[in-house]
């Protein structure tokens, strides 16, 4: 299936040729200078072309490509994506994946097609729950501001910086304190990665009756300054101290709730800005271990009300219609913001990693992508009057409600 199946013999010839060129280039660069180390990424076809990447495989139906890019081209790709309202915009592939580019694209095309044809038997109608409303209304914009101020006070959270884990270790220690006295047991751990020295942080609250069913809530904890050179100032207040803080504030609220029926897992992912590095490894391992992840919520940039206060962008591509429906019902039942559908292309944040592994993911965004915060990936992404903590506070509520509603229900995702 996908472009590979439909491609003619000449298609196979082109793929073999680009594979040969790929290996010749690899040999050449490795013989010279590792700093120009190139990478194989999954990204949008037109952008890979725009930066002059070596296209290893392409699918014009989904407009996706597996491409081989130099660091300079990767930098250009990131700037291009950023100018089009995306955070990352590409996923870095492993060497094994890079050797079978056609398979990557056809699997993604299959998942995407099935999602598109996924028709919901019926719309989700949630019954209003007073306790859930009370919990959600504990979300406090002033506390949220304090947490964003702390996270964005690190000069850089870049995954390739000399000390890429200071903020990760500090959050681990703070969460240990903040969650003291919780009504449930919890485990805090850091996860090492192959693709980056930066670690992902995970908090696990085991489920009471169905611990094998997992609800994931996450956001990336790294930051970047477009220059790619470590040491550059990258406070990343909106991208993504905001989403990281929404998750922290939600956990502080949920510590007063009963142990959930299903397991909650909270993630602060590493290396999103360099190609979804942490979430790609974690979601791939989950798939390999047949982990029963029921639903994934991704928060990435929640502070800039570019489309108006309480107007929230709901990303429709590479996300689940089933979960979008549930989030829409959570919003209309408890939060009452205005949701606006929008697209952001492949790899615009960590939800894409889970989606590619066949899991149901959803991501509400601070605004539509054309009206998003354009100070991201620069030293100007700091707390200023353009940002609204009242606006971002709704995302803390979404997280609390996502955990309570899905963590205590027997709702099952439709099978892909
Ligand atoms: Zn981001």
Q: What is the pLDDT along the chain (416 residues), one digit of tens a residue?
A: 444 344 445 555 665 665 565 555 555 554 444 456 788 999 899 999 999 999 999 998 888 999 999 988 988 887 787 666 566 678 888 888 888 888 888 988 887 777 777 656 567 778 999 999 999 999 999 999 999 999 999 999 999 999 999 999 999 999 999 999 999 999 999 999 999 999 999 999 999 999 999 999 999 999 999 765 456 799 999 999 999 999 999 999 999 999 999 999 999 999 999 999 999 999 999 999 999 999 999 999 999 999 999 999 999 999 999 999 999 999 999 999 999 999 998 789 999 999 999 999 999 999 999 999 999 999 999 999 999 999 999 999 999 999 999 999 999 987 65
Q: Where are the alpha helices (H) located in 117-258, listed in sequence order?
A: 130-136, 141-151, 166-178, 243-254
Spacing, Cα 273 to ligand 1 middle (Å): 7
- Span from the CA of 173 to the centroid of ligand 1 (angstroms): 24
Whole-number pLDDT of residue 62:
83
In this prediction, residue 3 carries a pLDDT of 41
pLDDT at 269: 98
Cα of 258 vs centre of ligand 1, distance in Å, is 32
For residue 29, how far is its CA from the centre of ligand 1 (angstroms)? 30
Ligand 1 centre to CA of 14 (Å) is 35
CA pair distance 167, 220, nearest whole angstrom: 12
* 333 CA → ligand 1 middle, Å: 28
| Ligand 1 mean position, distance from CA 349 (Å) | 6
Report the distance separating Cα 321 and Cα 271, nearest Å: 27
Question: Which two three-digit tokens encode residue 196?
Answer: 């980056």
Domains and CATH numbers, the chain: 12-114 (no CATH), 130-407 (3.40.630.10)
Neighbours of ion ligand 1 (CB under 5 A): 87, 239-240, 300
As a whole number of angstroms, the distance between CA 218 and CA 299 comes to 6
Ligand 1 center–CA 223 separation, angstroms: 7
Our CA angle for 399, 239, 78, nearest 5°, is: 125
Ligand 1 centre and the CA of 348: distance in Å?
8
**Ligand 1 midpoint to CA 300 (Å):** 5
Using CA atoms, how far apart are residues 76 and 182, in angstroms rounded to an integer? 46
CA of 39 to the centre of ligand 1 (A): 20
Q: What pLDDT does 23 receive?
A: 53
Angstrom distance (rounded) from CA 247 to CA 221? 11
Q: What is the enclosing helix (H) or strand (E) of 362?
A: strand 361-362
Distance 148 CA to ligand 1 centre (A): 14
Please tell me the distance between residue 278's alpha carbon and the centre of ligand 1 in angstroms.
13
Round to whole Å and give the CA distance between 355 and 359.
Answer: 5
375 CA to centre of ligand 1 in angstroms: 12
Which pTM does this prediction carry? 0.87
Q: Write down the pLDDT at residue 365.
A: 98
Ligand 1 centroid to 376 CA: how many Å? 8
Q: How far, in Å, is the centroid of ligand 1 from the Cα of 390?
A: 20
Is-cis flag, bond preceding 240, omega within 30? yes
Distance, CA of 263 to CA of 208 (rounded, Å)? 8
Residue 268: predicted pLDDT: 98
């Amino acid at each position: 299936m996908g472009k590979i199946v439909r491609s003619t013999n000449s298609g196979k010839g082109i793929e073999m040729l680009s594979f040969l060129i790929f290996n010749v280039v690899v040999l050449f660069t490795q013989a010279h200078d590792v700093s120009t180390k190139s990478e194989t990424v999954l990204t949008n076809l037109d952008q890979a072309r725009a930066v002059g990447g070596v296209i290893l495989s392409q699918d014009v139906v989904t407009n996706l490509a597996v491409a081989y890019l130099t660091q300079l081209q990767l930098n250009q790709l990131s700037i291009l994506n950023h100018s089009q309202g995306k955070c990352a915009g590409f996923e870095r592939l492993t060497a094994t994946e890079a050797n079978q580019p056609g398979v990557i694209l056809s699997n993604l095309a299959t998942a995407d097609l099935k999602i598109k044809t996924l028709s919901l038997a019926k719309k989700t109608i949630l019954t209003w729950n007073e306790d859930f409303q009370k919990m959600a209304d504990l979300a406090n914009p002033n506390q949220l501001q304090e947490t964003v101020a702390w996270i964005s006070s690190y000069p850089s959270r870049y995954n390739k910086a000399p000390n890429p884990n200071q903020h990760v270790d500090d959050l681990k220690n703070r969460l240990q304190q903040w969650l003291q006295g919780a009504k449930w047991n919890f485990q805090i751990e850091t996860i090492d990665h192959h693709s980056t020295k930066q670690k992902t942080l995970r908090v696990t609250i085991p489920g009471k009756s169905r611990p094998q069913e997992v609800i994931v809530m996450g956001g990336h904890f790294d930051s970047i300054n477009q220059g790619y050179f470590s040491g550059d100032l990258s406070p990343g207040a909106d991208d993504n101290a905001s989403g990281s803080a929404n998750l922290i504030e939600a956990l502080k609220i949920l510590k007063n709730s009963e142990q959930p029926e299903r397991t909650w897992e909270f993630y602060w992912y590493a290396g999103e800005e360099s190609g979804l590095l942490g979430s790609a490894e974690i979601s791939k391992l989950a798939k390999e271990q047949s982990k029963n992840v029921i639903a994934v919520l991704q928060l990435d940039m929640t502070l800039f009300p570019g489309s108006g206060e309480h107007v929230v962008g709901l990303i429709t591509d590479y996300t689940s219609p089933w979960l979008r429906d549930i989030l829409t019902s959570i919003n209309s039942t408890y939060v009452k913001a205005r949701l606006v559908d929008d697209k952001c292309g492949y790899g615009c944040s960590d939800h894409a990693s889970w989606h590619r592994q066949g899991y149901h993911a959803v991501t509400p965004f601070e605004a539509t992508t054309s009206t998003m915060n354009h100070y991201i990936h620069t030293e100007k992404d700091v707390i200023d009057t353009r940002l609204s903590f009242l606006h971002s506070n709704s995302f803390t509520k979404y997280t609390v409600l996502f955990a309570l509603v899905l963590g205590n229900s027997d709702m099952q995702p439709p099978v892909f």
